[in-house]
Amino acid sequence: MKLPRIIGIAGTNGAGKDTLGELLAERCNYKFVSVSDILREELTRNDIPHEREHMSNLSTEWAREHGPGVLSMKTIEAYVEIEKAEGYNGLVIGSIRRPAEAHAVQDEGGVVLWVDADQRTRYQRIQANNRDRVTDRLSYEQWVAEEEREMYPKTDDPTVLNMSATKNACDITVMNDFATQEEYREYLIKEFEL
């Protein structure tokens, strides 16, 4: 499979988005940038805890100031500057959470993948990963409630996180119901001819 120059990765928390992005970086020499990391860096600069609510609020603020596709567009613009200098073959943008961000990738000739898995399995993966993020220390019930808020917002505002509409905008769906990360990686290598 011929990979496009720009690949967006969207999906649910704990589904394996970062694993896919890291695999593309490792095996295909793509630059992998997670928009969640960009948000965390900004929160750190402003001495704000890395809670999902703060990340969501910052993301929405930027979207209102610069348009709902701002995170993808900023990442693509920055990549174009370093692409030739650093010799990357492409760009992977992880943690896309708005349809406009997916469309920004598609408008540049890229594709967007939706990565998902069973909800309870994803929660257990997050707990097992122990990345020491504030958002990872929630009870299962709190975690589900936050995911529902992001998945099905109670507004038509395009600047608010809308995972269900983002899912509908994606080109390819990847289900990660594998028992181990190694099985998932092997599947991705075979499926996408990495």
- Averaged pLDDT, 71-82: 85
pTM over 0.85, yes/no: yes
Burial class of residue 108 (count of CB atoms within 10 Å of its CB; 0-12, 13-18, 19+)? middle
What three-state secondary structure class fits 139?
coil
pLDDT category at 25 given cuts 50, 70, 90 is very high
Q: What is the pLDDT of residue 112?
A: 98
Is CATH 3.40.50.970 what the domain over 8-191 is classified as, yes or no? Answer: no
Long-range contacts of 61-66 (CB under 8 A, 24+ apart): 63/98, 63/100, 63/158, 63/159, 63/160, 64/159
Q: What is the mean pLDDT of residues 109-115?
A: 98
Q: Is the pLDDT of residue 183 over 80?
A: yes
Q: What is the mean pLDDT of residues 43-62?
A: 91
Q: Average pLDDT in the 52-79 region?
A: 90
Cβ partners under 8 Å of residue 156, min gap 6: none
81: which 2 tokens? 């500057």
pLDDT surpasses 60 at 85 = yes
Domain limits of the chain? 8-191
Query: Please, which pLDDT band fits residue 37 given cuts at 50, 70 and 90?
Result: confident
Average pLDDT for the chain: 91
